[in-house]
Amino acid sequence: MSDAPRYSAEHVLRYDYRRSLGPVLARFFTELRDQKILGTQAPDGRVFVPPVEYDPETGEALDELIEVGPAGTVTSWAWVHEPRAQHPFDRPFAWALIQLDGATTSLVHAVDADGPEAMKTGMRVKPRWSAERIGQIRDIECFEPEGA
């Protein structure tokens, strides 16, 4: 056993990564800035949101983008009672999987609701847009219950 004093220090790994997007994500984020949500349509009609450059099942290239939503249906959700520093809100909120109208798949995002009792699988939600949109996933500030 060591009798040395304990040397302990914070180590911070911080970097602002700059990510180039390629054609599909570039269009997705560009349109998001204009409050439009795009998905990738496969030849058999499946629509992937967020959009992908390829079929996640087969790897085949896909390039047809169509508009979906903006509203959708919650397919699963989780209530955050005590947000972490990285979370989008500093008050309790929900994470949800949201199947936007016209999409085959679900998107992960935050839902601002009054409490866990206000959340339900199958509920309808719509996006609340950020005031300052720069072309990124957080241009959607969150989703909120339809009619709220």
Point out which residues bind another protein (CB under 8 A): 1-2, 4-23, 25-27, 29-30, 33, 48-50, 52-54, 56-61, 75-81, 84, 86-88, 95-99, 105-110, 116, 121, 134-138
Q: How far is the CB of 41 from another protein (least distance, A)?
A: 14
Closest of 14, 68, 12, 16 to residue 38, by C-alpha: 68
Q: How far is the CB of 22 from another protein (least distance, A)?
A: 4
Q: How far is the CB of 109 from another protein (least distance, A)?
A: 7
Closest of 99, 101, 128, 102 to residue 113, by C-alpha: 128
Select 29 or 126, whichever has its Cβ closest to another protein.
29
Contact 142, 111 (CB under 8 A): yes
Q: How far is the CB of 146 from another protein (least distance, A)?
A: 19
CA–CA separation, 99 vs 77, rounded Å? 12
Select 65 or 97, whichever has its Cβ closest to another protein.
97
Closest of 146, 148, 147 to residue 71, by C-alpha: 146
141 contacts: CB under 8 Å, gap ≥ 6: 88, 112, 127, 128, 129, 130
Select 79 or 129, whichever has its Cβ closest to another protein.
79
Select 135 or 145, whichever has its Cβ closest to another protein.
135
